[in-house]
Amino acid sequence: MDKTDERLISALRHDARASLSDLAMQLELSRTTVRTRIERLQSRGDILGFTVVLKEDVLRDPVRGLMMIGIEGRGTSRITRQLQGLPEVRAIHTTNGRWDLIVELGTATLETLDEALAKIRMFDGVVSSETNLLLATKKDSRA
């Protein structure tokens, strides 16, 4: 993947419905070159598909946060399974360093987020945690 492919993917992330002509003009390429590159990226598996992000998807979680979790002993697998069962959990990431897991949470209200945090802190094996609220998103690769 070269710089032109990266620019094309960036443009598609911004507007996956942009016409070949619009993409060509924006990237200063021919329409044929844009089409060929998109087809090649798809055939190689670099582009797996195109999606639509609805306003409701963004509004679904007006309160979002990241919870870093420290786990005692070898309880990471069990705690991960427990987290997967919580409707407020959007993603679970393993990490290195001070924290064992980073959990993305999304709720409708601060009160609901607080309840989810309290529930997670009560899991057997959770010895420490720190939570940061997400205030604004400047770039989202899903959009």
Q: Which band of pLDDT confidence, cut at 50, 70 and 90, is reported for residue 46?
A: confident
Residue 16, CA distances (Å) to 9, 19, 137 in order: 9, 9, 19
Q: Which band of pLDDT confidence, cut at 50, 70 and 90, is reported for residue 60?
A: confident
Q: Which band of pLDDT confidence, cut at 50, 70 and 90, is reported for residue 142?
A: low
**What pLDDT was estimated at residue 11?**
86
Mean pLDDT value across the chain: 89
Handedness of CA 34, 39, 41, 42 (dihedral sign): positive
**What pLDDT was estimated at residue 56?**
65
**What pLDDT was estimated at residue 59?**
65
121: exposed, middle or buried (Cβ count in 10 Å: 0-12, 13-18, 19+):
middle
Q: What distance in Å separates the CA atoms of residue 143 and residue 15, rounded to the nearest whole number?
A: 8
A 10 A CB-CB count for 74 gives 8
Handedness of CA 143, 42, 33, 7 (dihedral sign): positive
pTM of the model: 0.61
**What pLDDT was estimated at residue 65?**
95
In this predicted model, what pLDDT tens digit does every residue of 99-132 receive, in sequence order? 999 999 999 899 999 999 999 999 999 999 999 9
**What pLDDT was estimated at residue 55?**
66
